[in-house]
Amino acid sequence: MIVLVIYGAAGVLFAIPFAFKGAGAVDPAAKGGTWGFRVLTFPGVVALWPCMLVKWRRAAGDGQP
């Protein structure tokens, strides 16, 4: 149980900056995303934050996701 809480907390802490900067780096179409888009993607980013972290790091490194 504590592992899920830690995983979820890490996901929330990751999803906040990802919603504002990372999503646009991973997918250029997301740069102009509305607040509704960010709210809708937030739970998925929280759940899949390790995958999104890898994608964000790859996009930051070479410019391609």
Task: Please report the pLDDT score of residue 53 as a whole number.
Answer: 94
For the chain (length 65 residues), average pLDDT per consecutive 10?
Answer: 96 94 89 89 95 92 61
* pLDDT at site 54: 94
- The domain tally of the chain equals 1
- pLDDT of 52 reads 95
Q: Is the dihedral of CA 44, 53, 51, 2 positive or negative?
A: negative
- Which residue reads 């179409």 in tokens? 29
Contact status, residue 24 vs residue 30, Cβ threshold 8 Å: yes
pLDDT of amino acid 63: 53
Range of the domain at 57: 2-62
CB of 23 within 8 A of CB of 38? yes
d(CA 1, CA 23): 29
| CB distance 58 to 65 below 8 Å | yes
